[in-house]
Amino acid sequence: MIHKIKFLFLASVISLIFPFASVMAATPTLTLSTQSEGNNVQLSVAGDPNQSILLSYVKTGIGSQVDALGTTNGAGNWSGTVSTSAYNIATNSSVYVTLGGVNGQRSSSVAWPTSSAQTTTGSTFTLSPTGVVLTIGQTSTITASNSGTNYLYLSNNSNPQIANVNISGTQITIFANSQGSTVATVCAVGNSANCGSIYITVQNSASAPLTFSQNSVTIAAGQNVPITISGGTGIYMVQNNSNSGAVQTNMNGNVITLSTSSTGGLSSITVCSTNLATCGIINVTVGSVSTAPLSFDKSNPALRIGESTTVTVSGGPTGSVYYLSSNQNTNVATATMPTNSATITLTGVANGSSLITICSSLGNCSSFTVTVSYVSSGGTLALSQTSMSLLVGQTLSVTISGGTTPYSLLNPTSSVATASLNGNVLSVSGTGAGTAIVTVCSAGAACVGLSLTVSGIGTVAAPTFSPTSVSTTVGQTVVVGISGNGGYHVSSNNSPTAASVQINGSTAVVYGIGAGGTNALICQNGGQCSTLTVSVAAAVSTASVNTAQTTNTTPTTTTTISVPVYEFTKYLATGSESSEVLQLQKLLVKLGFLTATPNGYFGNATKAALMKFQKKNGLDSLGIVGPATRKALNEITENTTTKTTQAATKCSVVFYRY
């Protein structure tokens, strides 16, 4: 008793000293027990005294709910009975209580007991489909299969602000609220392991969904099913595969290939474009296949290089959609099959054979062999490369050698690329994502194929120049503006002895080195390129003879060196690389100290030339651009220097323009 009085006195003192201090609340406990009739559940709550009690539970067909039960007594206890059927609480779902309001102390979660009012057989629980793609404001319904009971509840919605999920019997209704994705988990009452997940993707209401050559596929073990994707912007990717253990995916450009080693199962595969603004669903069924083989009107066709033929397929089950499953050797022959078609087009590319496999959407497949054999009298024909990867809007070139000229193209245009010839140079431009083969032949009938892989969705414009072509003279610098995606770089310069081309931000700096011309291929972020044509003329020189009026008149020779105005501002040394280094090199070339081609990189040749300049101008020959050297360089570029010398005899006056 004495100890209790001391404790109360101490608590009073603390409350007087710290009037805003509160006693730490105790964590409440919740105990459940089923009563004899099986429908009512006894709840016992223990916690702080005189606190409101809120019960959080899962209501069948609705989801999470909160209801008030009452208030704890002065000792912190409460006991009462709750009807499972009246509250419609899902069996085996988690429940807990919170004391003192929604932000008060929360008890641990406990499982709601089984009620005689709700039973389940424990049968297999399935959802169809398991994934949906919606636009904002759109509604979709999914059907659940759960024989033995219709009692379902929403166990979890990972991102409820994206979509609402409501359950009525076996129907699950989804309403799209905002752009994004969420996963809804639905379970059968009485068996917490009997659950299924729905992957929900909501795209902007202005976006059209992706489309597929097949969006409902039956696949069997060992099959490969290629599906062509259309729509959207950017690169395609698999956003979700609801059953990756049953169905595997491989994305290549705008073709997704499905495969499986399973004998059964379902999967909904969500495919989106890079920005996640446009998506679509492919529903896949894994199962047994028809054993009846497919038939072809040409069993084993033979072709010459460059020759094409068609093969028609038949014999699939009613409702079959045929597709090209595989081409064993694309370097020997190409095989194309339009969507919803029964005709395969074959084109010979090189000597050899290839196994072509065709399947129906209902599972059965068959194969045939195409043989390509053609002997050329024109000798061996070769390409500088036999395969090429490029982007939509990008243009690349390869060189042709051997055979007999003139060369020709058998299939210069396709949905993937266009090709053209200029002598022995083959230029290819990407026009659409996918794969193709361009066949080049010589006059002597020798042929060779160039395999193309084009990536990127939607045509991106190549960079443009202002001016579109450049005419300059030796020693002169011209600046060309570039418009496009940015991130420009010089991919190639076919005659660097005529002119150097350097990129400075969104401009190309062209410096004339020698009389002639060059083509510089300038590319941008994304890989698209354009060619800048440069023409360089020799430096202009004129001569005149000074005729003296008297024999006592001394003729003069005047040499004028004009240097463009440029202000040097940075410290430069070996290893520096910038547009300022390029300007330094150009100046050293003009002054006769540097013979190497300006390239913007401060190397040993630049250092040696700078040391010569420093020595001639009375500076310390350190080979770096410090304050004193920078001042001397700027004095030269700020003024046009004219030197006049007296000659002892009559001579020509020569003017040089740099």
* CATH number (domain holding residue 571): 1.10.101.10
30 and 103 together in one domain: yes
Please say whether the beta carbons of 653 and 558 come within 8 A: yes
Same domain for 278 and 219? yes
Q: Is residue 250 domain-resident?
A: yes
Residues 132 and 199 in one domain: yes
Residue 89 CA: distances (Å) to CA of 34, 67, 70, 170: 13, 12, 18, 17
Torsion of the alpha carbons at 223, 224, 225 and 228, rounded to the nearest 10: 180
Helix axes 604-616, 627-638, angle to 10 degrees: 80
- The pTM of this model reads 0.36
Cα–Cα distance list, 10 to 3, 4, 6 (Å):
10, 10, 6
pLDDT of residue 77: 93
- Residue spans of beta strands (DSSP E) within 494-555: 499-504, 507-512, 516-523, 529-537, 541-545
From the list 230, 397, 415, the residue with the least C-alpha distance to 334 is 415
pLDDT at 606: 93
Sheet with 302-303: list strands edge to edge: 302-303, 365-372, 352-360, 322-327
Same domain? For 199 and 216 the reply is no
Give me the phi and psi of 7, to 5 degrees please: -65, -45
- Full strand arrangement of the beta sheet holding 248-252: 211-212, 224-230, 255-259, 248-252
Question: Which of the residues in the chain have pLDDT under 70?
Answer: 1-24, 35-38, 60-64, 90-92, 114-125, 146-150, 189-193, 205-207, 274-276, 287-291, 319, 361-363, 374-379, 444-446, 456-460, 526-527, 540-565, 637-658
Looking at 327, 355, 372, the residue that finishes a domain is 372
Q: Does any domain span residue 414?
A: yes
Residue where the block lists tokens 């972020």: 525
Is residue 410 situated within a structural domain? yes
Same domain, 510 and 446: no
In a shared domain, residues 445 and 469: no
- The pLDDT, as a whole number, for residue 541 is 52
Boundary of a domain, candidates 436, 454, 472: 454
Rounded distance between C-alpha atoms, residue 390 and residue 382, angstroms = 20
- Same structural domain for residues 189 and 253? no
The secondary structure element, H or E, covering residue 131 is strand 131-135
CATH number where 160 lies? 2.60.40.1080
Same domain, 389 and 363: no
Asked whether residue 180 falls in the same domain as residue 253, the answer is no
Q: What are the angstrom distances between the C-alpha of 285 and each of 119, 180, 267, 317, 324?
A: 31, 26, 7, 16, 19
311 within domain boundaries: yes
Domain membership of residue 13 (yes or no) is: no
Q: pLDDT per residue over 340-362, tens digit each? A: 788 999 988 878 889 998 887 66
Q: Give yes or no: residues 215 and 199 share one domain.
A: no
Residue type (1 letter), 580: E
Whether the bond into 467 is cis, omega within 30 of 0: yes
Mean pLDDT over the full length of the chain: 78
Range of the domain at 260: 211-286
Residue 479 lies in a domain: yes
- 131-284-213-341 Cα dihedral, nearest 10 degrees: -160
> In whole angstroms, what is the distance from residue 364 CA to residue 289 CA?
5
Q: What pLDDT does residue 311 have?
A: 93
Residue 540 confidence (pLDDT): 63
Q: Quick check: is 132 in a domain? A: yes
The pLDDT tens digits of the residues spanning 43-74 come to 999 999 999 999 988 776 555 678 888 999 99
Out of 239, 264, 286, pick the residue that ends a domain: 286
Same domain, residue pair 180 and 247: no
Residues 449, 481: one domain?
A: no
Asked whether residue 510 is domain-assigned, the answer is yes
Distance CA 500, CA 504 (A): 13
Please state the domain count of the chain. 7
pLDDT given for residue 15 in this prediction: 44
Q: Which two tokens stand for residue 228?
A: 């062509």
